[in-house]
Amino acid sequence: MQDKELYEKLLGIKAPWKVIDVALDMQKSCVTVKLGHAKGVQFPCPVCGVLCSVYDHEARRWRHLDSCGFMTILEAEVPRISCKDHGVKQVSVPWAEGGSRFTALFEAIAISLLKVASLSDVAKVLRISWEEASGIMERAVKRGLKRRVALPVKALAIDETSFQKRHEYVTVLFDRERDCVIDILDGRKKETLQRWLKEHQESLKELDSVTMDMWDAYIGAVKETIADACQKICFDRFHVAQYFTKAVDKVRADEHRYYKAKYGTSPLTKTRYMWLRSKESRSEHAPASFAALSRMNLKTARAWRIKESALELWTLTDRKDSEAAWRRLLGWTARCRLPPMIEVGRTIRSYLWGILNATVKRATNAKVESVNAIIQKLKVRACGFRNRARFKMAILFHYEKLSLLPEGLT
């Protein structure tokens, strides 16, 4: 088999296109495959599809997958047609998308690598620049967003995650039913979220629950845009648990400091994570001494017992039972004489309605929280994103179930 024929087969080149030359540069470890088309052929206008005569040609180059370790370049004189309705246009070629300097197959491989490795690693492996790798990612996201159809969202989650500097945030909108990111908004202001909710009224018609933190900006935005918001807003277990955990940690730190100052030693030394861990993860790690410690007359132990009891209330799914149990717990919290716990109790009391919604609907943001954890890891892996747009693009690339591959390869 001739090398031209071989490359025609390998590249899947079909008429009117053919391989007209294959040149090997041993010094540069590079193969250049020249493609051309038969004379007198008409090509469809890329806008309307009507067959038109060739007007002129433009020289184009694409990077393709390596052949046996040799960098492989496709070259072609791509025709421009003259359509009577759309003017002079470059025709589309079957091996690459318009405007790309890479073949569709090359982009597809880059996309699958980008799913598992960082931009700089992919750039190194594929011998392209960081900007080129980022460009492939950006085109993939644009392609996916264009193909996406707006589906009705029934279970929405709204959460914030920090971007780059500690106090810069983005708001992540997540479809809990489909398990994917829907959108990412700048900041965490009420107005921004409100605008988004208004723009997406159509797909939110069947909305049943919105999980979020007890955060007034988000609550306000939802209340002002969604009908029956007070029945739909859910403050999930994860966020509520965080409030209790933080308060327990504060009680422990204060008490530990008190013992150290007064006696030079403290029973709470090196126990921090045992008080903070959830029941499930603690049982594996806690030494037997923790059980004894938790029974001692310590402020920390008292605070911890309140936290543990609060977390167990989540097993109740009847609204009345749940409300009665929470009210008992809040009474206990109010009498406990531990300021951080009293503070949490007050917060919970004013947001109890949404906590009850969450228990009844069994709605939780746990998945969003794990997305946040992955997003934070992604940030570390990418050594920070140069700007917000790139950060958002990476989240969409990794967590929105978009169809990313070039045309014909999906």
Q: Provide the binding-site residues for Zn ion, judged by CB under 5 A.
A: 45, 47-48, 83, 85-86
Q: What angle do CA 139, 140, 145 make, to 5 degrees?
A: 95
Of 12 and 49, CB closest to Zn ion: 49
Of 85 and 202, CB closest to Zn ion: 85
What lies within 8 Å, CB to CB, of 4 at 6+ separation is 18, 19, 20, 21, 22
Of 85 and 206, CB closest to Zn ion: 85
> At which residue do the structure tokens 């998945």 appear?
367
Nearest approach, Cβ of residue 51 and Zn ion (Å): 10
Contacts of residues 167-175 at CB distance under 8 Å and 24 or more positions apart, as own/partner, are 168/388, 170/388, 170/391, 170/392, 171/218, 172/368, 172/371, 172/372, 172/375, 172/395, 174/367, 174/368, 174/371
Nearest approach, Cβ of residue 85 and Zn ion (Å): 5
Nearest approach, Cβ of residue 198 and Zn ion (Å): 37
Of 47 and 88, CB closest to Zn ion: 47
Q: What angle do CA 11, 12, 15 make, to 5 degrees?
A: 120
Nearest approach, Cβ of residue 45 and Zn ion (Å): 3
Within 10 A of 143 (CB to CB), how many other CB atoms are there? 20
Residues 249 and 254: their CA atoms lie apart, in Å, by 9
Q: Which helix (H) or strand (E) holds 17?
A: strand 17-25
Q: Say if residues 410 and 404 touch (Cβ distance below 8 Å).
A: no
Of 92 and 231, CB closest to Zn ion: 92
Nearest approach, Cβ of residue 93 and Zn ion (Å): 17
Nearest approach, Cβ of residue 392 and Zn ion (Å): 35
Residues 174 and 218: their CA atoms lie apart, in Å, by 14
Of 80 and 272, CB closest to Zn ion: 80
